[in-house]
Amino acid sequence: MLQILHDYGVLFLVGTFPNGPLGGLAGTLLLATLAAALALPLSIVLAVARIDNRRVYSAPASAVVTLMRGTPLLMVIFWSNYALPLLVGGSVGPFWVMLGALVVYQSAYLAEVVRAGINALPRGQYEAARALGLSHKETLVRIILPQALYNSFPALLAQFVSIIKETSLGFVIGVHEFSTAAAEANNDLLVKPVQIFSLLAITYFVVCFVFASMARSLERHMGMAKGVAPA
């Protein structure tokens, strides 16, 4: 394994960059970070729409969340691979196809996290804000959502771990990420697939373990700050 790291360490880290597109572990983390950053605003819109009393908003939002949560990500990737070029009227690179698929898919899961954070707040806060003269929109933006997002942050960080793992499916459409780099090294060596994909699995585990540990530590810290004994 050490010899493989010596020979292919740069490929595993950044792919063929700077002579080619950024890939490897850096490409995976970039893709996951962009997907999370873009999916979060969309998830907030979906969460707010789902709790709205008007079915004209809640029904479509619920349909989108239910459809995405009941569909395998691989199918969403394939749909995006064929649908995005039609929507934009031209070719779309694999990176952007995968990013679009992750944003749409993860927004449904993050929406449920945000919605749970909103529903966990006491109803009296909303009623008090309205009694002070704040509109429904002002109450959501200034009172409800800041608290809900703060309380949901550990869960949102934990969901980021899932996004990191899901980026590996980009391999099927040729995205330059960590799994693709490992496959390229395996195609070059041919005789050491166990060692190469063991390194892949170990690296995924370490990266995901770090972020999952951060989420648990943050959750304990927030619980202690609120006077709740850690589990």
pTM of the predicted model as reported, rounded to 2 decimal places: 0.87
The pLDDT-based confidence of 1 (bands split at 50, 70, 90) is confident
What are the residue ranges spanned by the domains of the chain?
Answer: 2-223
Q: At 22, is the secondary structure helix, strand, or coil?
A: strand
Q: Write the CA distances from 115 to 65, 148, 162, 224, integer angstroms.
A: 12, 8, 19, 23
Give me the amino acid identity at 126: Y
Give me the amino acid identity at 95: F
pLDDT, mean of residues 119-146? 84
Residue 179: other Cβ atoms inside 10 A: 21
Is the domain 2-223 a CATH 3.40.50.300 member? no
pLDDT at 4: 79
pLDDT digits (tens, 9 = 90+) for 138-186: 888 888 888 888 888 888 888 999 999 999 999 999 899 999 998 888 8
Q: Whole-angstrom Cα distance, residue 84 to residue 102?
A: 13
pLDDT digits (tens, 9 = 90+) for 93-118: 999 999 999 999 999 999 999 999 88
Contacts of 99 (CB under 8 A, 6+ apart): 31, 34, 35, 38
